[in-house]
Structure 1
Amino acid sequence: MAKIKGAVVVDQERCKGCDLCVTACPTSVLELHPREVNNKGYHYAYMKNPDDCIGCSSCGLVCPDGCLTIYKVKV
């Protein structure tokens, strides 16, 4: 069985830091950036542990603003 490697691309300017994607991630890949904010003043989501991403798309399904794009690659 092939291993799946995932990647999440966050549209940082659209992200409002609602934390839903962080909560939905089963492998704790995402986190709200602790120091940086976007132009609207929100702490945006980013991949804290990119090597743990399995590309399940749970984060993208719960994002109310469609800020996340999820990629999957067989390794």
Structure 2
Amino acid sequence: MKYKEDIFPGRTYCSCSNFLYSIYNRVLKPTPKTRIYIDYNQEKIVIECKICGKKENIPFSRIKPKRNSCMD
């Protein structure tokens, strides 16, 4: 099950068929054809395609690292 959970979480393409990003093992991996903005007030990351301008909002909760129980 862990194998599927690590690979499945997110892949997004824009209208010009450009691959924007993937989330693998809770790590965000954008492509070079994107711009990244961080909005700390709304706790999200905005990834924008440089070619067509499509914007994708990703909440911090999808990429925050898991907490260790010893650090709580």
TM-score by length of 2: 0.26
TM-score by length of 1: 0.25
